[in-house]
Amino acid sequence: MGFERHMETDLLIIGGGINGAGIARDAAGRGLRVVLVEQGDLGSGTSSASSKLIHGGLRYLEQLQFRLVTEALREREVMLRIAPHLVRPMRFVMPHAPHLRPGWMIRCGLFLYDQLAGRRTLPASGRLKLDATSRSGLKPEHTHAYAYSDCWVDDARLVIGNARAAADLGARIMPRTTCIDAQRQGNQWCARLQHAGGETDVAARAIINAAGAWADRVRSQSLGLKAEGLLKLVQGSHIVVPRLYAGEHAFIIQNDDRRVIFVYPYEHDYTLIGTTEVGLDDESIACRTSPAEIDYLCRGVNGYLERQVSASDVIWSYCGIRALVDDGARDPSRTSRDYLLRLDGKPGEGPLLSVLGGKITTYRRLAERTLEKLTPWFPDIGRPWTASATLPGGDIKGDIEGYSETLSERHSMLPGGLIRALVRRHGSRTPEVLGAARSLEDLGAHFGGHLYEREVDYFMHAEWALDADDVLWRRTKTGLHLSRDQQGKLRAYMARRALAL
């Protein structure tokens, strides 16, 4: 792809995580010219290292964060409508630990959780009496539990879906591109971008700093402004182990420190466990799961589940850095997950809007509020629209299982498991990925784990994938299923294809 040496745009968005991609989609759909830059792959930071949940945040009720929980629960309903291939309902079971939280407190919290959700499509909460058949892997001493509903999300693909939608609406999406300098000149910003093709100058009417954990660095190093110091950086780690229990439900475990740990089925054969909360020095934001975090998660699970786990069972781990708005709380787990939008710009100056904090569940509403704040500079901006418009692949007639079955009948020579995997990644755009393929041979080389050459090509030309990690861990999670040799073959193939693009 060629690079322009000069561009003019309305919005220059720095940061290609879920917030940046969501703002790009919303703004492009309202008629604004948009350029989004991301220093790495799209969603390669915190947005692909989340707990992969679309949820209200039950534990935030304990901290009296009612506005945040209400907004998140209502966004949960929106996400089920606009991205049914990426978001699916999940039932959560909380074994009762009376020494940590009394039953009346949990019942009141769940009742309030249901009420704040308003009109909902998910089942209400309830109390469970556990026996040998319903315990599902829990230790026998756990005789009661509480159940409620939230949603699972493919976080990395949610980023890609928003970026793809933005691009379809005319936005310029530029991964592996760094804003190395930007200065106000009157009513606009003049920025310099660095990428594989050299440098590009951009004249932008406004800049949005959506760099997450790197927001202060962007502000001070790229924009030449004083860092605001409003962020608290917290590392959250997750581990993946062999499947620990039968069933598709999740467990939410109350730990002795009163934090909670999520445990749920992952990629069919595995169980995902997380998360930790470790404060980071804001001068060093390298992220690596520590042995202490692995031990913490294993001990938490071992207190509840019959099948015990240790560090030797960990097949994969990942961590992300949450950039939280510093509200003065000493305990990272009590720091608010709400967001703050900081506007910097006098009348007649090009504005800078910094996005601080937030959670993946509320990204769409955050994008709407961002554009509301920029209305004085863009008085002709269109109206909010994203709550009712499906993301690419989301316009599925009926349910996802029925759609998969219909496609399987149409492509009867292809394995049903492959079709289901493709539909979970691409939704109604699966036929676009398959093209005219009617047999496995038509899909090209098989790398393993339902990953074929044709889909890899699609990732590269339609979803900005460049190297194997983009595919193994973000466009898909096939890194869990491919051997080292298979991964090596994928790396070699993509390297050859990248040279040809």
H-only helix segments in 289-429: 291-302, 363-373, 400-410, 416-426
> Is 55 part of a structural domain of the chain?
no
- Asked whether residue 226 falls in the same domain as residue 346, the answer is yes
Number of domains in the chain: 3
- Residue 315 is given by DSSP the state -
pLDDT in tens, 450-487: 999 999 999 999 999 999 999 999 999 999 999 999 99
Q: Are residues 404 and 496 in the same domain?
A: yes
Considering the domain architecture, whether residues 286 and 274 belong to the same structural domain is answered as: yes
The pLDDT assigned to 221 comes to: 93
Average pLDDT over residues 66-70: 92
Examine the pLDDT at 4 and tell me if it is beyond 90. no
Percent of the chain with pLDDT over 70: 97
Q: What is the CATH number of the domain that holds 350?
A: 3.50.50.60
Range of 438's domain? 400-500
**Residue 77 scores a pLDDT above 80:** yes
| pLDDT confidence tier of residue 333, bands split at 50, 70 and 90 | low
Quick one: pLDDT at residue 99? 82
pLDDT attached to residue 135: 83
Reported as a pLDDT band with limits 50, 70 and 90, residue 134 is confident
Does 88 map to a domain?
no
Instruction: Evaluate if residue 141 carries a pLDDT over 80.
Output: yes
Same domain, 362 and 441: no
Count Cβ atoms within 10 A of the Cβ of residue 333 and give its class: 0-12 exposed, 13-18 middle, 19 or more buried. middle
Same domain? For 492 and 415 the reply is yes
Percentage with pLDDT > 90 across the chain: 83
pLDDT of 285: 65
- CATH number of 455's domain: 1.10.8.870
Q: Evaluate whether residue 388 is within a structural domain.
A: no
Residue 378 lies in a domain: no
Same domain, residue pair 226 and 263: no
235 and 309 part of one domain: yes
Closest CA to 243 of 275, 276, 267: 267
Contacts 24+ apart (CB under 8 A), 462-470: 462/164, 463/160, 463/164, 464/41, 464/42, 464/160, 464/163, 464/173, 464/175, 465/41, 465/494, 466/41, 466/175, 466/176, 466/494, 466/498, 467/491, 467/494, 467/495, 467/498, 468/494, 469/41, 470/41, 470/44
Per-residue pLDDT of 394-407, as tens digits, reads 999 889 999 999 99
Residue 110 lies in a domain: no
> How far are the Cα atoms of 260, 273, 417, 450, 473 from residue 420, in angstroms, in the given order?
32, 24, 5, 10, 18
Does 85 reside within a domain? no
Q: Which of 36-50, 110-124, 159-173, 433-447 comes out lowest in average pLDDT?
A: 110-124
Q: Is 137 left (phi over 0), alpha (psi -120 to 50) or beta?
A: left
Query: Given this model, what pLDDT does residue 282 score?
Result: 62
* Residues 413 and 484 placed together within one structural domain of the fold: yes
Does 196 reside within a domain?
yes
User: Token match 């595919």: residue?
Assistant: 471
Is-contact 259 60, C-beta < 8 A? no
pLDDT tens, position by position, 28-49: 999 999 999 999 999 999 999 9
* CATH code of the domain covering residue 298: 3.30.9.10
pLDDT of residue 389: 98
Whole-number Å distance between alpha carbons of 369 and 22: 11
Mean pLDDT in residue range 4-25: 97
Q: What is the mean pLDDT of residues 292-311?
A: 97
Residues 479 and 360 both lie in one domain: no
Name the amino acid, one letter, at 335: T
Tell me the two tokens of residue 159: 């980023």
The confidence band for 294, taking pLDDT boundaries of 50, 70 and 90, is very high
- pTM here is 0.96
| pLDDT tens digit sequence for 178-205 | 999 999 998 999 999 999 999 999 999 9
Task: Please report which confidence band the pLDDT of residue 334 belongs to, taking 50, 70 and 90 as the band edges.
Answer: low
Domain boundary among 295, 325, 355: 325
Same domain membership, residue 481 and residue 407 = yes
Spell out the residues 6+ positions from residue 461 whose beta carbon is closer than 8 angstroms to its own.
Answer: 501
Asked whether residue 194 is assigned to any structural domain, the reply reads: yes
Same domain? 225 vs 313: no
Q: 363 with 307, same domain? A: no
Residue 82 has which token pair? Answer: 């606009």
Q: How confident is the model at residue 244 (pLDDT cuts 50, 70, 90)?
A: very high
pLDDT band at 109 (very low <50, low <70, confident <90, very high): very high
